[in-house]
């Protein structure tokens, strides 16, 4: 891996961290993933960002990024990426910029934009074969505005808009991307850094539409101690709630398969957003239904693996 393009937060003066007055939360799992992703991508990157928590990383003139950062409207980041890519291609074609100064175009958004508001612009960008990487940090809600329900919110999670728990189920963004036949798509998590780095290196070196979808444990929105971010992330993988996989060369491969899997309860119990499933009365039927959905997913995977 090349020299870190994103300096360790602890190396930076606090003004760089706070974006001129607005702070990010301690233990942010999205930031953990984005830092690792930037380590692989390097400074020759333009981030095209839609409003969300990561926007706070770049409030002029303070930023930990060494490359470029463009802020767009929430639904428009992939369209912004098209404009940036076109401008770079024009400069290259007219020989007004040497090839070695070319930049990678990376969309960086939360789940609210990736699963919802920006999905139409994403679909158009994939259809046009845009050469871009879409990085989504998925904290399963509209985090920046107080954790309202988003299309990525998991079933039964309490949010600012679903006080009794979300009745719907989490949308499958990975499957939506795969249905669009992109060049590459992968799920990652900051708590599995080697798996993340390997996938990012692959995504970095391919061309065309690519997705990297990072589950982003969010102490503030999910309700757990910021010291537990990595452990919550590991539990998401060990319970099978967050399958680590990639779509490459036309097929899906699971990159970390845990056998035996832990019960999903191990992941749910430490999070305040699921506390009503355990107290004052244990919601056994709801817990069984969540477990059954995860088991059904993995049963299908195992059946496919057996051929």
- State the residues that interact with ligand TPP by CB under 6 A: 51-53, 74, 109-113, 139, 142-145, 150
Shortest CB 116 distance to ligand TPP, Å: 8
**218, 28 in Cβ contact below 8 A?**
yes
74 binds Mg ion (CB under 5 A): no
Shortest CB 244 distance to ligand TPP, Å: 21
Positive or negative torsion for Cα 47, 49, 52, 57: positive
The secondary structure of 240-285 as a DSSP string is TSS-EEEEETTEEEEEE--SSPPPTHHHHTT-GGGGGGTSSS--HH
Q: Which is nearer to ligand TPP, 271 or 291 (CB)?
A: 271
Q: What are the beta bridge partners of residue 46?
A: 68, 105
Q: Which is nearer to ligand SF4, 106 or 218 (CB)?
A: 218
Q: Return the range that interacts with Mg ion (CB under 5 A); candidates 75-83, 103-111, 118-126, 223-231.
A: 103-111
110 binds Mg ion (CB under 5 A): yes
The secondary structure of 54-123 as a DSSP string is GGGG-BTTB-S-SSEEEEE-TT-HHHHHHHHHHHHHHHHHTTSS-GGG--EEEEEEEHIIIIIITHHHHH
Shortest CB 9 distance to Mg ion, Å: 20
d(CA 219, CA 239): 19
Q: Which is nearer to ligand TPP, 108 or 287 (CB)?
A: 108
- Which residues have CB under 8 Å from 304's CB, separation 6+? none
Shortest CB 218 distance to ligand TPP, Å: 8
Q: Which is nearer to ligand SF4, 137 or 247 (CB)?
A: 137
Shortest CB 301 distance to Mg ion, Å: 26
Q: Which is nearer to ligand SF4, 33 or 287 (CB)?
A: 33
Residue 28 near which of ligand SF4, Mg ion, ligand TPP, none (CB within 5-8 Å, type-dependent): ligand SF4
- Residue 107 — φ and ψ, nearest 5°? -85, 135
d(CA 85, CA 97): 13
Residue carrying structure tokens 């982003």: 216
Q: Which is nearer to ligand TPP, 53 or 156 (CB)?
A: 53
- Which spans of this chain sit near ligand SF4 (rule: CB under 6 A)? 24-25, 28, 30, 53, 139, 143, 216, 218-221
Q: Return the range that interacts with Mg ion (CB under 5 A); candidates 80-88, 109-117, 237-245, 253-261.
A: 109-117
Residue 145 near which of ligand SF4, Mg ion, ligand TPP, none (CB within 5-8 Å, type-dependent): ligand TPP
Give the 3-state secondary structure of residue 139.
coil
Residue carrying structure tokens 């699963």: 115
Catalog residues that contact Mg ion under the rule CB under 5 A: 110-112, 139, 143
């Amino acid at each position: 891996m090349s020299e870190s393009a994103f300096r360790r937060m602890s190396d930076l003066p606090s003004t760089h961290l706070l974006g001129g007055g607005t702070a990010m939360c301690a233990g942010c799992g999205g930031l953990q993933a984005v830092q690792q992703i930037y380590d692989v991508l390097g400074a020759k990157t333009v981030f095209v960002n839609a409003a969300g928590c990561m926007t706070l990383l770049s409030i002029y003139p303070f930023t930990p990024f060494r490359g470029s950062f463009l802020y767009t409207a929430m639904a428009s980041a992939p369209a912004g990426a098209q404009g940036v890519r076109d401008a770079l291609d024009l400069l290259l074609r007219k020989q007004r910029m040497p090839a070695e100064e070319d930049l990678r175009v990376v969309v960086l958004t939360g789940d609210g934009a990736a699963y919802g508001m920006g999905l139409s612009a994403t679909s158009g960008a994939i259809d046009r074969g845009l050469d871009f990487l879409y990085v989504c940090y998925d904290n399963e809600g509209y985090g920046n505005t107080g954790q309202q329900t988003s299309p990525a919110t998991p079933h039964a999670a309490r949010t600012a808009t679903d006080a009794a728990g979300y009745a719907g189920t989490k949308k499958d963004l990975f499957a939506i991307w795969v249905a669009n036949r992109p060049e590459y798509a992968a799920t990652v998590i900051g708590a599995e850094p080697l798996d993340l780095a390997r996938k990012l290196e692959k995504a970095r070196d391919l061309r065309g539409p690519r997705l990297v979808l990072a589950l982003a444990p969010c102490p503030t929105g999910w309700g757990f101690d910021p010291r537990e971010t990595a452990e919550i992330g590991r539990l998401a993988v060990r319970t099978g709630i967050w399958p680590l996989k990639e779509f490459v060369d036309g097929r899906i491969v699971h990159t970390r398969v845990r056998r035996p899997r832990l019960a999903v309860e191990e992941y749910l119990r430490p999070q305040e957003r699921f506390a009503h499933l355990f107290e004052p009365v244990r919601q056994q039927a709801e817990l069984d239904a969540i477990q059954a959905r995860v088991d059904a997913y993995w049963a299908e995977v195992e059946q496919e693996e057996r051929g």
